[in-house]
Structure 1
Amino acid sequence: MPTATAPAPRRRTPYENWRPPVIGVSLLVPVGADSITVIDLRGMLMLPVGCVHDGQTPKEAGYRTLADPGGHLRILRRVTIDCVQTRRRKVITHVFAAAPMTREAVTGLVYRDPRATVRVMPTLQFLDRAWPSGRGRLVVSLQALATGETARIDDGIVRPASAPALSA
């Protein structure tokens, strides 16, 4: 007599990297010793950000994020790589530091979105108003800029960029 067997339980597999990662770039442009360049998009404050398109390096994308007719913007180096695994794809943000600029030079910068305005804001004031994830990225980037290191943030865990990534 045949016996009935229960069907095998279904396993739920996590949705990891089934779509290509989203790669973006963010610019940290210091103004003097205590201010940074921010973007004001209808009341939402953020660092200048942009996308990295196919065939483009993150540094090239950084130059496309802020147009500088005066030629004052000089991107120096990458200070932070922020990697977040969302449910269906990985989001990678490269933070580049630019050479310090004057307030007058910042007024000549043009952001890629015409609805936004480029502003200079005290760093501490911006940190008070930033989202927690953006605040953490900015603090890590400022520390990396000050120490000359490159930091890596993997799902909220900060480590030197030379440290091996954790495998899941």
Structure 2
Amino acid sequence: MPAATVAIPARRHTAYENWRPPIVGVALLVPVGADCLAVADLRGLLMLPVGEVRVGQPPQEAAQNVLNSPEGLPLLRRVAVDQVQTRRRKVITYVLAAAPMTRAAVETLVYRDPRADVRVIPTMHFIDQVRPEARLRTLVSLQALATGETASIEDGKVHAESPPPSRPCR
């Protein structure tokens, strides 16, 4: 008796539907001295301190909730925006730079996740330890901080945005 053949339907490629709202977060670039960064150490996983941005909340306000400090975190400006399109959602991360801090000031910072510690490590050591996506975000943010520009990263491609408007001298 011959075996019955079953026709397998051809795979249909469904069009992308961005039906879910984007995930929006904030990452902090906190320089310590000339060659170190304050990072979050979550059980051996090193990362820039990160947090969520709620709907209608400015990234600067969300950044204040990431690292708690007795005096408040001295934020300078936005240095980068990283956008990644996943299959069904866009992930947007604003990178905000803080004013350079001392090691003593970093010791007073408390990260939003109690499982993680805030550590000061050399910038190059951090860059060597993180995932490639985080490495790109960190390097682009450091360059934007040094040049005074704001960078945009879209799906791994870096674009420069216009510099912030200058203030008149008085």
TM over 0.5: yes
Q: Which residue of 2 aligns with 1:94?
A: 94
The answer to whether structure 1 residue 155 and structure 2 residue 129 are counterparts is: no
For residues 14-163 of structure 1, the aligned pairs below 5 Å read: 14-69=15-70, 71=71, 73-162=73-162
Asked whether the 8 Å contact 2:24–2:52 carries over to 1, the reply is: yes
In structure 1, how many angstroms separate the alpha carbons of the residues matched to 2:38 and 2:132? 18
Which amino acid in 2 is paired with 1:107? Answer: E
Q: Does the C-alpha gap of structure 1 residues 10 and 115 become closer, same or farther in structure 2, counting only changes over 3 Å?
A: closer
Count of residues in correspondence between the two structures: 153
Instruction: Provide the C-alpha distance between the structure 1 equivalents of 2:105 and 2:154, rounded to a whole number of angstroms.
Output: 34
Judge conservation of contact 1:81–1:161 (CA < 8 Å) in 2.
no
Work out the CA distance in 1 between the residues paired with 2:143 and 2:114.
Answer: 31
Identity of aligned residues (%): 65
- Deviation for aligned residue 1:55: 2.3
Please state how far the C-alpha of 1:28 moved relative to its aligned partner.
0.1
Which whole-Å deviations, capped at 9, do the CAs of 1:6-45 have from their partners, x for residues lacking one? xxx8852333421000000000000000000000111111
Cα contact 1:36–1:122 (8 A) shared by 2: yes
Q: Is the 8 A contact 2:64 2:72 kept in 1?
A: no
Structure 2: stretches of 5+ with no match in the other structure: 1-9, 163-170
> TM-score, length-normalised on structure 2?
0.86
Query: Are the equivalent residues in 1 in contact too, given 2:22–2:91 (CA < 8 A)?
Result: yes
TM superposition shift of 1:160: 1.2
SS in structure 2 at match of 1:23:
strand
Q: C-alpha distance in 2, partners of 1:104/1:32?
A: 11
Q: Which runs of 5+ in 1 are unaligned?
A: 1-8, 163-168
